[in-house]
């Protein structure tokens, strides 16, 4: 492919999803990945119906289900006393939105998208580190660290949290939350796993910490995530999020959580950053996508989903703006993409921050939160309708947000 129609920079989930989406529209796509090989680190990832709907449109949902697990319920518990606070019936949720809630290993989702790109004919190039982006008279080009350049009609920059392309639009830096995540997967045959209900996605929320677990790969693995606020980070130390802080953060949690901490990987941890939302993602023929545009904190499990949605929306607008002779009005397609995605993703990024604050409350505020959550009906979808429905293609299709409930409205008699 000497002159591709599109270049995608970044071979993560967002980049692969965009490359596949655009190839489906008959475009020649070249994907540049900086690493020497394609791969994804991490453990489990949650895919809500707004994502599985797109995977179904791509013809990939059945393969994803075969690699993952469709749980029955999502449960929130108090990390201190272990008591249940609220739950979502995920089987009923599937009936409501038409598509399942799926949990899958991040590497399995990445591999699924990589294979789809290979079958579709995406030109996949590794060891290609982009050092600069430029607009040209006919499109855009990228320059690699090797000195080579690649020219095309449009460049999609899916180059992650530390995006180089983002600097064309805004002079900002990632924002540290001072929280850090530890992960770990455990074979289901382990004695301490046998008592865990792998049909549930469970989060224990506690003061300055939370713990998530759910099954993976059809129940072969238990995925666990432990997240806490680092005192060292708050103090400005460089060495923060260390295992000693992990143990200290969860010292006041219930036995169920503490018994599972030894199974966490202790040689690697993930510091949690996001960025302030920006509403301009297009610079000439260079467009941001995924974490380069909207890296969120993970509290509502929408980071990878937003990236997949970005690629699908862009592909749909390309299809709508293709002339009879096959040419595409890229300026119109990019403008339509930018008209709808930044506002949705702004909502996700800001809601993720607020949701994290809600999870980690202490004292009276924790009691108020717990009281409100216990009054919630299992089949109340007020707080997820704006997320889990069909992905909007135009601003008028974007559903209204939910109305927040003040903690002070908790019934006084239920607060201990």
Q: Measured between alpha carbons, how far is 385 from 122 in angstroms, rounded to an integer? A: 34
pLDDT for the residue 13 = 97
pLDDT for the residue 415 = 47
DSSP of 297-341: -STTS-HHHHHHHHHHHHHHHHHHTB-TTS-B-HHHHHHHHHHHH
Active site residues: 214
**How many CA atoms lie less than 13 Å away from 241 in the CB half-sphere?**
20
Q: Measured between alpha carbons, how far is 211 from 332 in angstroms, rounded to an integer? A: 44
Q: Measured between alpha carbons, how far is 155 from 171 in angstroms, rounded to an integer? A: 20
Strands 209-216 and 200-206: antiparallel
Asked if residues 130 and 143 have their Cβ atoms less than 8 Å apart, the reply is yes
Asked if residues 313 and 341 have their Cβ atoms less than 8 Å apart, the reply is yes
Report residue 280 CA to chain centroid gap: 20
Q: Measured between alpha carbons, how far is 284 from 411 in angstroms, rounded to an integer? A: 54
Asked if residues 26 and 50 have their Cβ atoms less than 8 Å apart, the reply is no
Q: Which of 244, 254, 352 is nearest to 294 (CA)?
A: 352
Residue showing tokens 């006393």:
81
Whole-angstrom CA distances from 220 to 149, 182, 189, 217, 267 are 45, 20, 8, 5, 23
Give me 36's structure tokens: 């020497």
Q: Measured between alpha carbons, how far is 406 from 403 in angstroms, rounded to an integer? A: 10
Asked if residues 317 and 393 have their Cβ atoms less than 8 Å apart, the reply is yes
Q: Flag the least confident range among 189-193, 262-266, 335-339.
A: 189-193
4: pLDDT confidence band, cut at 50, 70 and 90?
very high
Of the chain, the percentage scoring pLDDT greater than 70 comes to 99
Q: What is the mean pLDDT of the chain?
A: 95
Can you tell me the mean pLDDT for 52-58? 98
Give me 413's structure tokens: 């008699």
E runs forming strands in 65-161: 73-78, 84-89, 102-105, 123-125, 130-135, 140-144, 149-152, 154-157
Tens digit of pLDDT for each residue in 389-414?
Answer: 999 999 999 999 999 999 999 987 55
Q: Which of 376, 392, 405 is nearest to 75 (CA)?
A: 376
Tens digit of pLDDT for each residue in 23-32?
Answer: 999 999 999 9
């Amino acid at each position: 492919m000497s002159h591709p129609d599109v270049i995608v920079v970044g071979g993560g989930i967002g980049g692969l999803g965009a490359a596949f989406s655009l190839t489906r529209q008959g475009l020649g796509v070249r994907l540049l990945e900086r690493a020497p090989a394609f791969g994804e680190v991490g453990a489990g990832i949650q895919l809500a119906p707004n994502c599985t709907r797109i995977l179904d449109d791509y013809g990939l949902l059945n393969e994803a289900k075969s690699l993952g697990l469709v749980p029955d319920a999502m449960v929130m518990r108090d990390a201190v006393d272990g008591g249940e606070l609220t739950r979502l019936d995920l089987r009923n949720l599937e009936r409501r939105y038409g598509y399942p809630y799926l949990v899958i290993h991040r590497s399995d989702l990445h591999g699924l998208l990589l294979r789809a790109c290979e079958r579709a004919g995406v030109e996949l190039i590794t060891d290609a580190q982009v050092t600069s982006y430029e607009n040209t008279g006919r499109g855009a080009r990228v320059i690699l660290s090797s000195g080579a350049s690649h020219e095309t009609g449009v460049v999609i920059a899916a180059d992650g949290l530390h995006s180089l392309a983002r600097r064309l639009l805004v002079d900002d830096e990632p924002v540290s939350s001072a929280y850090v995540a530890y992960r770990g997967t455990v074979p289901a045959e382990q004695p301490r796993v046998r008592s865990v209900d792998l049909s549930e996605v469970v989060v224990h929320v506690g003061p300055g910490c939370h713990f998530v677990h759910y099954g993976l790969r059809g129940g072969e693995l238990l995925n666990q995530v432990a997240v806490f606020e680092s005192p060292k980070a708050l103090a400005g130390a460089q060495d923060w999020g260390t295992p000693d802080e992990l143990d200290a953060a969860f010292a006041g949690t219930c036995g169920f959580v503490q018994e599972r901490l030894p199974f966490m990987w202790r040689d690697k941890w993930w510091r949690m950053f996001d960025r302030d939302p920006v509403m301009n993602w297009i610079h000439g023929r260079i467009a941001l996508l995924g974490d380069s545009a909207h890296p969120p904190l993970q509290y509502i499990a929408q980071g990878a989903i937003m990236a997949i949605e970005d690629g699908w929306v862009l592909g749909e607008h390309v299809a709508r703006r293709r002339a009879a002779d096959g040419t595409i009005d890229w300026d119109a397609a990019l403008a339509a993409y930018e008209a709808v995605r930044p506002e949705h993703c702004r909502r996700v990024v800001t809601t993720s921050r607020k949701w994290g604050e809600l999870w980690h409350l202490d004292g009276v505020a924790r009691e108020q939160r717990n009281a409100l959550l216990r009054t919630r009906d299992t089949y109340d979808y007020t707080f997820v309708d704006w997320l889990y429905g069909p992905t909007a293609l135009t601003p008028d299709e974007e559903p209204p947000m939910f109305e927040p409930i003040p903690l002070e409205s908790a019934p006084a008699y239920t607060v201990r």
